[in-house]
Structure 1
Amino acid sequence: MKAGRILGVLPLAAALVVIAVTAALGNWQLNRAHEKEARAARLQALAAQPPVALSTVPLSHDVTDRRVRVTGRFDTVRTVLLDNRPHGAGGRSGDSRAGFLVVTPLVIGPTQDAAGARRAVLILRGWLPRDAQDRTRIAPFPTPEGEVTIEGTALAAVPRVYGLGQAASAEAGSKIRQNLEIADYAAETGLALQPLVVAQRSDTGDGLARDWAPADAGADRHYGYAFQWFGLAALTVVLVAVLGWRARRRAASSVARNKA
């Protein structure tokens, strides 16, 4: 009798664990969706503000997600191509071809810092398709010569992907890389880089795609996942209720037959 009670309690305990876990996962997905929508609203408010002008003076405040404007000359020799970046990852273009993100330092004027390094900022210029047969065969893309003014959005870091186990130090000096860290690249090149990356939005005639993912990209997907998790929790509750009701009916029928 006691063993039977234990066996009856175990399925109920397992069901309660399932309900708790799926409800928690549903709440987590809802929070992720709300975070992306809140960031999109913040960016919309920041877009109404005038752009921040970047210069050779180190930034004294955080300008992440702000519109920025900077004038300088592209250091084309130090251009880096970030591999394994699908186009349309944000859902705008529907084009999921593999390609590169093109990153080029923009040297800001002739002024040097106290250590003699030239002041510069990394420009995330856009997306370039990759050759399907030979990833090292890079399609030509023009880079403006002379002084150019770039407008875009300030990012705290270069967008990352999973590095496939390769350390950043192993990629130093390579034109094609998986990821790029601002501090590491500054040490590698000797440039005094501003602590941000500019996702370029102005057109410089280079033919690169710049349909960056919107800030709320993926919010609908998170809502969908939340619905699935909450649905599973609700289904488990219904199953527990139905099975409990059937168990009580069987117990009542057994008692009635014994009395008879």
Structure 2
Amino acid sequence: MVTFHYNFKITLFSLLCLISFINLGFWQLDRKEEKIALLENDLHFRSQIGSRPEFIDQNRVLSGTPLILQGTFDDRVILLLDNRIHKGVVGFEVHQLFHDESALNFIINRGFIPRGRTRSSPLDIPLMHNEMVSIRGHIYKAPKNPYLRKIEKLNYDFPQIVQSIDINILSNELQLGLFPFVVRLQEDQLGALPRSWVVSNMTPEKHQGYALQWFLMALAVFVAWIFFTFRRTNG
């Protein structure tokens, strides 16, 4: 005979785990759809030639939108984004001020340079000598880092090592209007440095796999609850 043995603590614990695991599973499925859309947008943008910045709606522009810029790199303002890794080597990503002929100003991510033996070691940063150039790149909307609490101030001793690139802060510090997003320079362009940028760190398939794991864990919790609640007794 199967009898019902209700245990409030086991039931509550099982219910909380069940809800959490199911929510995490659907969250992973949502992330999967986001990654699919992100990859599709990247393929779409790669097929486009690019637009001049004055024709871009800054309030609606998408990450990955290609741009064509004409102007000069400013060798006086170079920021080194810390803790970057390229092919197992620790270093910096070089972000440099660029003055476009449209009168707009940009922060251009040129790519990676390795760090010296110490943080005070001199770095080999190829300068652009303020020459007029035509370059191509794409807009990069960096995700916000919730662990960065400190607002960095410029010390105007360039190149300066920074932990993050905040366009609003840079604009105020430099007293210069800046395009609201970083532009990543294409790897075949003048001034480009090595890079290992990826559209997404995790494939849609991995998100689907994680979702399946969460759903299986939810099923395991439900089966365990059934086992402890409905028991077979003799007679």
**Which TM class, normalised by the smaller chain length?**
0.7 to 0.9
3-state SS, counterpart of residue 79 of structure 1: strand
In 1, Cα distance between the equivalents of 2:96 and 2:114? Answer: 17
Report the equivalent of 1:108: 100
Measured at CA, do residues 152 and 204 of structure 1 come closer, stay the same or move farther in structure 2, by a change above 3 Å? closer
Percentage identity across aligned positions?
A: 26
Is contact 1:168–1:180 with CA below 8 Å preserved after alignment? no
Which structure shows the bigger proportion of residues in strand conformation?
2
Whole-angstrom distance in 2 between the partners of 1:165 and 1:45: 36
Unaligned runs of 5+ residues in structure 2 are none
Quote how far apart the aligned CAs of 1:25 are.
0.9
Q: Name the structure, 1 or 2, with higher relative contact order (CA <8 Å, separation 6+).
A: 2
Task: Say if 1:77 and 1:162 are closer, same or farther in 2 by CA, change over 3 A.
Answer: farther
The residue aligned with 2:198 is 213
Quick one: distance in 1 between partners of 2:193 and 2:164? Answer: 19
Is the 8 Å Cα contact of residues 40 and 216 (structure 1) preserved in structure 2?
no
Greater per-residue helix proportion: 1
Q: Is the 8 A contact 1:19 1:236 kept in 2?
A: yes
Hey, what does 1:63 align to over in structure 2?
61
Match of 2:151 among 163, 167, 192: 167
1:178 corresponding residue in structure 2: 163
- Structure 1 residue 97 corresponds to structure 2 residue 89: yes
Corresponding position of 1:116: none
Runs of 4+ in structure 1 over 6 Å off:
none
1:207 Cα offset (Å): 6.6
Q: Aligned pair 1:236/2:221, yes or no? A: yes
Tell me how far apart the structure 2 counterparts of residues 149 and 33 of structure 1 sit (CA, whole Å): 37
| SS of equivalent residue, structure 1 residue 122 | strand
Tell me whether 1:135 sits opposite 2:119 in the alignment: yes
Which letter does structure 2 place at the counterpart of 1:63? Answer: V
Which has the greater radius of gyration? Answer: 1
Q: Secondary structure at the match of 2:38?
A: helix
Answering whether residue 179 of structure 2 is matched by residue 187 of structure 1, we say no
Conserved in 1, the CA contact under 8 Å of 2:135 and 2:190? no
**Contact 1:80–1:104 (CA<8 Å) still a contact in 2?**
yes
5+ unaligned residues in a row in structure 1: which ranges?
88-94, 113-118
For residue 164 of structure 1, report the CA deviation from its aligned partner: 4.9
